[in-house]
Structure formats: structure tokens, C-alpha cells
Chains A and B, each alone.
Chain A
Amino acid sequence: MAAQSTAAPRSRPGSARRPAASHRTRGPRRVWSFLPQYLAISPFFLVFLGFALVPVLFTLYLSFQRWDGIGDMHYVGLEQYRFLISDRTFWLALSNTLIIWVLATIPMLFIALVIAAMLNSTRRLTAFYRIAYFVPSVTSLVAIAIFFFAVFSSQFGLVNAALHAIGLPAVPWMSNPWTIKVVIALLMTWQWVGYNAIIYLAGLQAIPTELYEAARVDGAGPVQSFFRITIPLLRPIILFTVVVSTVTGLQSFTEPQVMFGSNASTNPNSGGPGQAGLTVMLYFYHQAFDNNDFGYGAAISWALFLVIMLIVAVNWRIVARTDR
């Protein structure tokens, strides 16, 4: 790929200089001399170690135990995973999660690309448009979820009022299993489309205009240059957004938790009518923190981790393959 082949020689002078530098300070003394630098970056790693790596490893340990959070732990071997395989609610949650993820990610990335192309060609109010599209991704998710819930409320929501005004029948958005997923996916799309568009925009601006000019001279139309120049050169960025959207989209939790947390005392975090909004993360939360079944909760989160790794690997292959 063009970008890689130009980048490689540029990095060579730097790496060639390094042996000379390391010749001067070799061994532990060299590490010691960089102490201020290591100290400067240490807070991240210390926090990561204490609040991420250790808990992550602990959940792995937990997933082989039975623990109610306050009493003694009992080693149960693979019992939690065996139960997981036969647990229909887990599979329901997984299919909900995948459906919501597909419903959200594909339109989101496509719309983001279109928005990025449009932003790239605007000449006026550019900063305004960029900020406007980016604001949703820094808005409180809980607030957005409550707002969407109200807008799509089955009986008295704004959307149904609008449908009613133009003579269409009301849609029971928040009771039908499919429309529940659509609303959650819409929410995710709305929130993250601008974020992805800004990333694409950065990529678009790195593409030299000469390429487009040359294509135009050769007789290519805008559609052809979009598919022949823009998409191929944006591929690493598309891969990045696909991976990030996969990792975050498959962990959707707050949307259904806020939307359907209402009947909290009898059936908390059940994911709404027909459990249509029950995502894997919400199910994990329910098992660990409502049912105090921390071992099973840990097993669910590790199962989700494996699913995410699998999908990321598949994505990687699909997007990276066409390189060669």
C-alpha cells in the first residue's frame, strides 16, 4: 500500500540513529537515566494495573468459582461455563446484542462516511458542522437514553404523535421486540455517527487532491473516484472504526438499562418487554449484581470477550484481505 511504503523509509533514519545512542548508555544505567520519562508515563500504567489488569485477571479466576460477594468462594471448575452453554437466556441476550450491533453499526459507518465526504467539501461554517456532529458522542448517554425513551414512548411519544398527525397508525415502539432493538440501534447510531464521521474526515483530508485531479483528467466521475480512490485509501481508518464499533457496540449496556430499569423491585434489569433489550452486558450485570452470582457474571463477561475477539478477527480478515 502506498501509505505504508512511503512511511517505511521515513522511519529508517530514526532507527538508524538509535544504536549510536544506546551505545553510550547501555544496561540498567540506561533505564535509570530515563527515570523522569518513566515516572511521567507511570500513572497510566499504575492505574491500568490496579483498576484494569488485576480486576480482569480476577474475573477469570472468579469464573471458576461460586461466590455470592460476601461469603466464601467455592471452586466449581467449569460448572459456570457448562451452565452458560445450556442457558437459553444467555443465548437470547447474545442474539439481541448481535442484532442491535448489526442494526446500529452498518448504517452508522455508512452514514458517517457520507457525512465525512460532505463535511470535506463544505466551505462555510465548517467548524460549526464538525462540532454539531461531534456533540452527541460527548453527551451523557443516560440523558440521551431517557430522551429517546420519551420520544419513542409507545403511547404518548413524540414520534407516535407525529405519525398520528399525518394519519398513520401509532407504532408500539417500546413493546414490540423488533422496534425495541431498532430504537436502541437508532440511539447508538445517532450518538456515534458524528464521532466516526470526524475520524473519516481526518482520513479524507490526508488523501492528496492530486489523486482526484488525475482521476478526473482520466475521465473518472465522482462515484468512481469515491470507490476507487477514497475507499481504498481510507481502508486502515475504516478498519479502525469497525473494530472500535465492534468492541463498544457489543458491550451496549446503558441504553437498555436506563430504558427498562423501571420495574426495579420485581424484575430488575430484565431488558424490557419480552427481554428484547437484554444485551449480554446487561445480563452479566443482572446475574452479578442483582442475583449476587459473581462467578456466573464473570463467566458471561469472558464469553462476551471471546465473541468480541472472534468478530474482530473476522472483521480484520474481511477488511484487510482486499489489501493484497
Chain B
Amino acid sequence: MELSRRRFIQASALAVTGAAAAAACGKSSSGTSAAKSSTLTLWYWGGGLSDKVVADTVKHFTAVTLKPSVIGGDFKQKLLTTMTGGKFVPDITGIKGEDIAGFLPRADRFIDLNTLGADKLAASYLPWKWKQGSTTDGKLIGFPIDIGPTAMFYREDLFAQAGLPTDPAAVGSAVSTWDDYFALGGRLKQALPKTFLLNNSGSVFSMVVGQGTTRFIDQSNHFVGDQDHIRRAWDLALRPQQLGINAKINDNSWNAAVGNGTLGTEIGAAWHALDISSAAPKTKGKWRVAAGPGGPANIGGSFLAIPKTSGNPQAAFEIISWLLSPENQARGFTDAALFPSSPASYKLPALTAPDPFFGGQATIDIFGPAAQKIPVAYEAPADAAVAAPYYSELTSIEAKGKDPAAAWSDAVSQAKSIAQKQGVSV
């Protein structure tokens, strides 16, 4: 019923102590920077890295001992707490894609991986992803793990029933713009009255924002959430509702909707395939993937970083670069559905294999080119906080029938006050 302050603090303190104790085992005598420690700790969350590849990494490095720990719960919070405490900080840590922007201003707490030779490996990884893990003055904090290139998932069987194109290439060109996509949704709904084009307006909004090069805050730390590019995303997000092709699903009934034909398409990242196949295993073979409306964007994907307190940065970097080599990234895709951030992996059999869930389609034909076309956008540390009111107001329109004009002005004014609060100029 409640999360009393006391219980909360006790629980989190216990969790942190537990995690720290797990990570601490074997950390050599209070890690004086002169003596290089021979035991390195690695923190990641469940599914953040391939457990098989991690196990192989432990075996591969014999000169140092790698101790991986899977950290449950709120990963960012535990990392932040431990780094603030300054004790038992991991030697290598994962950082989630949505958190990296918040850690970049604290680059002084991490080692610039370029000083350890990362710059020589840059060519093997996607430039936009590399930039996402770098500070504006070029320090590399996060080494790319995986990415989330987006595309459109669609029900081939429903498209066939509705007399729409079914071949991925034909579908891709039929939905190349958002207008085309919504028009197709209208035809789908007309033929199959129970089938909506998409799940909610927030998914359109985040996709359109992600396809742009500017988000809510520009590089000079100025709020731009009231400008045309956001307004365009907002207007596009409202269109499915006006056309009656928005299923307005904002809860876990999505799991049922995706399986019973309520949803004709899903726009999402490569890893979203796993959500669909686990929510609706019975639809196996009925889904296909095509290039999404308006071009690709990136959702999610994470990084590995070395905190400044690491006892042996050189060895830690060797471990990272082996763990995330193109070959091992391809294995990570097979084992944990982590879409590689190194284009060299895309030609390896692990990725080119046909996927039975998608009727034998080789989805890399869609996601591979998408991954390389993702625009480079500047994401400010406060970006997610400033974006939140837009999503809340979109759900208010869906749930309460709030007037869209009022919702827009409320979203902008709330976003402005959050921006100001986070030290962004308005």
C-alpha cells in the first residue's frame, strides 16, 4: 500500500550494500592507483549483455580475473549511488541509452576511452552511435553495445485480407511518408473494422522526434520544444486519432491486442520483435518487417564505460573491446537480441539468417540499412525530463478527450518550467 520513506531508504540501502558486497569480492587491497588490480568487476543488467559472451570473456582473459555481476532493479540509480559513495565502484559498467546523456556532463568521473586506444576502433562502429557516447569536446565515455534501429512491423495476413501490398519492399514504399502510412491505415480499418493502424499517439510522437536532428533542447542549451519540428511531430501524432485508426492502448492490454489482430502494424526498434513474439507467440509467421514511415530512428541501445576509480583501466578497455567486437556482437544478437552497433556484424550469418517468426524474412535487410541512416541528434541531459509533459498530454487527449490545443499549450508550458528547473535557458 505504501512506500514509506523509511522502508524505501532501508530497502535501497540494503540493495546497494548487497550489490556492493557482491561487486567487492576480490577487489585488491583498497585499489591504490599505482598497483594495477588483477581483479576487475563488471556491472550490467539482465539482458544488457549476452550472458554467454560474458562467460566466454571471463575465460578468455587469464591475466586478470573478471567478475561480472548482473544488477537488478533500477540500474542507473544503483550506479549513481555507488559512484557518489565512492566505494565498490565497478571497474566496467553498463550505461543504458536513455541515461547516457545524463552521465556525459559528469565525464570527469569516467575515463576517456580514446586515451586507451578507442579512437583506433571508431571506424568499426556506427558514427552516430559513437557520437552519442561522446561528450561535445570529443571524449568517449560510452563504448557502443547495441542499438535500436526502427522499422515497421506489420501483419502480412491482415494486409492480404485488406487487399494491401504484402511484400516488404512494396509495403516499405507504400508507407514511405507519414501521410502514406495514415492513408494505408484508413484502408486497413475500412476493410477490417476491428483492426487499428497503431497502438497510441505517443509512439508516433517519439518516432517523429527521433527522425529529426534536433530534439527538445539545442546544443547551446536552449529550449526548442515549442518550435516547428516538435509541433510537426505533435500534429502527426494526433492524426491517427482524427482518422479513427488509433487503438489508444496505454496499458498492458497491448499484449492481447498485438495477438488478436487489433493492431495491424507496430512501429518500433529491432528489439521490439522480441516483445511481439513473446506477447503473441501464436502469430508466428504472420508478421513481416518493412522500412518505417518517415525514415529510421533509434530507440534504446546501451554502452559500457570505465569509471575513473577503476583499478586497471587498460585491462578493462581490453576486455570491453573484446567483449564488443563485431564477432561477439553478432553472437549477442543471437543470444540476447542485442542489435549490433558494428556494421561489420551485419554480414555475419547470425544476422543474415531467416527469422521464422517473420515468415522466413531476413530482417537484417530492413534493419541493416536503417541502422546506417539514423540521423545524428544532440540529446541534452534534461531531454527526457523535458519531453515527459508531451507524452502525458497526448495520453490526456486519448483518455479524457482533452482539447488538443489546450493540451499543446499545457505541454509546452510544463516543458518550459521543467527546462528552467533543470538549468536550460527558455
Contact = CB atoms under 8 A, between A and B. Distances in A.
Q: Do A and B come from one complex?
A: yes
Contacts of A267: 202, 387-388, 391-392
B400 A177 contact: yes
Interface string A14-32: 0000000000000000000
A301 interface: yes
A126 interface: no
Interface string B323-338: 0000000000000000
Interface residues of B, number: 54
Contacts of A174: 250-251, 253
B280 interface: no
B146 interface: no
B391 A292 contact: no
Given A267-B202, A274-B400, A293 B422 contact: yes
Nearest to A271: B392
Given A175-B251, A293-B422, 20 more contacts: A48-B6, A51-B6, A69-B84, A88-B414, A153-B252, A155-B249, A156-B253, A156-B257, A247-B4, A248-B1, A251-B2, A253-B2, A263-B202, A265-B300, A266-B202, A266-B384, A273-B251, A273-B398, A291-B382, A291-B384
B5 A272 contact: no
A262 interface: yes
Contact of B253 (A87, A155, A188, A192): A155
Contact of A52 (B9, B252, B402): B9
A281 B256 contact: no
B426 interface: no
A70 B2 contact: no
A215 interface: no
A51 B9 contact: yes
A141 B384 contact: no
Nearest to B299: A265
Interface of A: 47-48, 51-52, 55-56, 59, 68-71, 83, 86-89, 141, 149-150, 153-157, 174-177, 188, 191-192, 247-249, 251-255, 259-260, 262-263, 265-267, 270, 272-276, 281, 289-293, 296, 301
Which of B109, B385, B395 gathers the greatest number of chain A CB atoms within 10 Å?
B395
B226 to A, nearest CB: 17
Which of A69, A87, A276 gathers the greatest number of chain B CB atoms within 10 Å?
A69
A202 B60 CA distance: 65
B5 A262 contact: no
B300 A192 contact: no
B127 interface: no
Given A52-B10, A265-B299, A274-B402, A260 B251 contact: yes
A52 B6 contact: yes
Interface in B212-242: none
A148 to B, nearest CB: 12
Contacts of B299: 265
A70 B84 contact: yes
B27 to A, nearest CB: 21
Nearest to A66: B423
Given A70-B83, A175-B248, A291 B422 contact: yes
B106 interface: yes
Contacts of A156: 253, 256-257, 260
Contacts of B387: 266-267
Given A267-B387, A272-B395, A248 B2 contact: yes
23 contacts: A55-B5, A70-B106, A83-B417, A153-B256, A154-B251, A155-B249, A175-B248, A175-B250, A251-B1, A251-B4, A262-B254, A263-B202, A263-B250, A267-B387, A270-B391, A270-B392, A274-B399, A274-B400, A289-B74, A289-B77, A290-B385, A291-B422, A293-B385
Interface of B: 1-6, 9-10, 13, 74, 77, 80-81, 83-84, 98, 102, 105-106, 109, 202, 206, 248-254, 256-257, 260, 262, 299-300, 382, 384-385, 387-389, 391-392, 395-396, 398-400, 402, 414, 417-418, 421-422
Contact of B2 (A157, A252, A274): A252
B202 A249 contact: no
A174 B98 CA distance: 27
B13 A149 contact: no
Nearest to B259: A156
A262 B252 contact: yes
Contacts of A248: 1-2, 4
Nearest to A304: B5
A251 B2 CA distance: 5
Contacts of B13: 51
A195 to B, nearest CB: 9
B253 A154 contact: yes
A88 B414 CA distance: 8
Q: Which 7 residue pairs spanning A and B have beta carbons closest together?
A: A273-B399, A267-B391, A156-B256, A253-B3, A248-B2, A251-B2, A274-B399
Contacts of B4: 247-248, 251
Nearest to A178: B400
B83 A176 contact: no
Contacts of B202: 263, 266-267
Contacts of B256: 153, 155-156
A145 to B, nearest CB: 10
Nearest to A275: B392
